[in-house]
Amino acid sequence: MRLLEKTNRIYLAFSLSLYIVTAIAFYGIIKWLIYEEVESRLLVEKRDFLVYVHHYTWKDNSYFVENKIEVEPGTQPKDFREHFKDTLIQDRYTKEWIPFRQLTFYTPIQQETKRVAIRKSLIQSYRLIEVITLTMATVLGLLLIGTFWFQDRLSGRLWQPFYETLARIKRFDLSSGKALHLEKPEIIEFRELNEVLQKMAEQLLHDYTTLKEFTENASHELQTPLALINAKVEQLIQSEQLTEDQTRWIQTIYDASRRMSRLNQGLLLLAKIENRQFTSPQEIDLSRELHEKFADMEELFTHKGIRIEQETASPFVVSLPAILADSLLGNLVSNALKHNMPGGYIRVESSADELLIRNSGPTLNNEPDVLFSRFKKEETGSDSAGLGLAIVKQICDSYGLAIRYTENKGEHTFRLARKEA
């Protein structure tokens, strides 16, 4: 939910609650005022009635007929006090029930206690209350709509520089090499925010460019002397004049040089992946690519006595640069081959949602949680650089994939799937 939507909803809920309370309070005040007026008139009618019966002889329904005065014999109850109440009386002509406000009291008339009920019609008062309430509700409703509309438009204009800055940051791409240009809005807070973001973007671009140049230079400059060392060492190994100890020492140097070369390539690849230096991702069917990789390595699997089983329910298609897709599958297959056993198997299961690579092998010694960490190897004496699964994890994290490892009774499973949104 956007910030403006959230604030507008809170404002609307608060305003609506406030207007409802105001409308109820206004209705109560208007009703109280009208009842106060009606009751004061009933008291005047009571006074006029008492003056009349004091000076004239009272006959039933002889006077005050239009004022709805009802007089009947009765005994005043103990602790009785005159009171007002609402009542309904049926109209003799229309047969409709009409609301009245009634004042009830007892008074002696011609030496006999009478119960007197004086009523005033409330139909006009109710209509007045309805008209006033409807008018008030309409005014409050229009005021609420107008205020909400104005608040929404005003907030939209005030926050427009923020959304413009957000849009430009979303379009900002370090790999393009273009600097981030932000406007200087009138609002001080937004202007300061843009200035901070501008400085951060400039520093990020500078660091990215420096790191990119370093990885490119390292890729070229380090590989050349390493390749030269390997070539010279290979020549020395083939020399017939070396003693057995010298051959062993040179072999050790050669192994270390090759490992350094693989380590250099792995670290450079990780740096390039982290810096998004690989562009142009494309739709790649990993199940088909894996099938082709198995075909290329068929002789190696046959030599080690490892059988390949593939079950493809449907292609597993992902968006990856081709070179990274090859590196991803290469490291997974290499891991399954390296940690397998003679006469073992590698089983692949593919569906539209996931790719499973299972292999037989000994029980894992290390914790599964650190399996994808850099320089973590299952065997300390292995010539592996310990970066293969770290590269797999980095590729997955950078391109919306998830990789998970499980082990069950000597069967190791790597599950490759798309990350949930």
Count CA atoms within 13 Å of residue 412 on its CB side.
21
**Across-strand partners of 411?**
360, 408
| pLDDT per residue as tens digits for the range 152-177 | 787 778 888 888 888 888 888 777 77
Which residues fall within 8 angstroms of residue 241, CB to CB, at 6 or more apart?
A: none
Q: Is there a single domain that holds both residue 74 and residue 87?
A: yes
Q: Is there a single domain that holds both residue 400 and residue 374?
A: yes
Q: Is there a single domain that holds both residue 8 and residue 127?
A: yes
DSSP structure class, residue 55:
H
The amino acid sitting at 368 is: P
Angle at 72 between CA 70 and CA 77, to 5 degrees: 110
**Across-strand partners of 393?**
none
Neighbours of 245 (CB within 10 A): 8
Mean pLDDT of 20-26: 84
Q: What is the pLDDT of residue 137?
A: 81
Q: Rounded to the nearest 10 degrees, how much is the dihedral formed by the CA atoms of 262, 266, 271, 276? A: 120
Q: Is there a single domain that holds both residue 197 and residue 264?
A: yes
- Which of the four pLDDT bands, split at 50, 70 and 90, describes residue 59? low
| pLDDT per residue as tens digits for the range 103-140 | 999 988 877 888 888 888 888 777 888 888 788 888 88
The helix (run of H) or strand (run of E) holding residue 408 is: strand 401-408
Please report, for residues 285, 289, 349, the alpha-carbon distance to residue 355 in angstroms, rounded to integers and kept in the order given. Answer: 10, 12, 6
Q: Is there a single domain that holds both residue 287 and residue 268?
A: no
For helices 322-338 and 388-398, the axis angle rounded to 10 degrees is: 140
Please state, in angstroms and rounded to a whole number, the distance separating the CA atoms of residues 354 and 315.
9
Tell me which of 155, 187, 205 is where a domain ends: 155
Domain contains 166: no
**Across-strand partners of 312?**
350
Domain contains 398: yes
Domain count, the chain: 3
Q: Is there a single domain that holds both residue 371 and residue 387?
A: yes
CATH number at residue 366: 3.30.565.10
Query: Is the pTM here over 0.75, yes or no?
Result: no
Report yes or no: 349 and 228 within 8 Å, Cβ to Cβ. Answer: no
Q: What's phi and psi for 418, nearest 5 deg?
A: -80, 145
Count CA atoms within 13 Å of residue 288 on its CB side.
10
Domain contains 101: yes
Domain contains 49: yes
| pLDDT per residue as tens digits for the range 360-381 | 988 777 666 677 776 666 554 4
Structure tokens at 239: 């020399």
Q: Looking at 58-72, 148-162, 232-246, 269-283, which range is the least confident one?
A: 58-72
Tell me which of 253, 277, 301 is where a domain ends: 277
- Position 421 pLDDT exceeds 60: no
Q: Is there a single domain that holds both residue 30 and residue 102?
A: yes
Tell me which of 130, 155, 180 is where a domain ends: 155
- Position 56 pLDDT exceeds 70: yes
Please report, for residues 35, 40, 54, 62, 227, the alpha-carbon distance to residue 120 in angstroms, rounded to integers and kept in the order given. Answer: 10, 11, 22, 18, 113
Domain contains 161: no
Q: Is there a single domain that holds both residue 90 and residue 203?
A: no
Q: Is there a single domain that holds both residue 145 and residue 13?
A: yes
Gyration radius (Cα) of the chain, Å: 46
Domain contains 146: yes
Domain contains 194: yes
Q: Which domain holds residue 204?
A: 172-277
| pLDDT per residue as tens digits for the range 298-340 | 888 888 888 888 888 888 888 888 888 888 888 888 888 888 8
| pLDDT per residue as tens digits for the range 284-303 | 898 888 888 888 888 888 88
Q: Is there a single domain that holds both residue 12 and residue 151?
A: yes
The amino acid sitting at 190 is: F
Q: Is there a single domain that holds both residue 98 and residue 137?
A: yes
Domain contains 208: yes
**Tokens 């968006």, residue located:** 319
Report yes or no: 416 and 286 within 8 Å, Cβ to Cβ. Answer: yes
**Across-strand partners of 356?**
349, 415
Q: Is there a single domain that holds both residue 262 and residue 295?
A: no
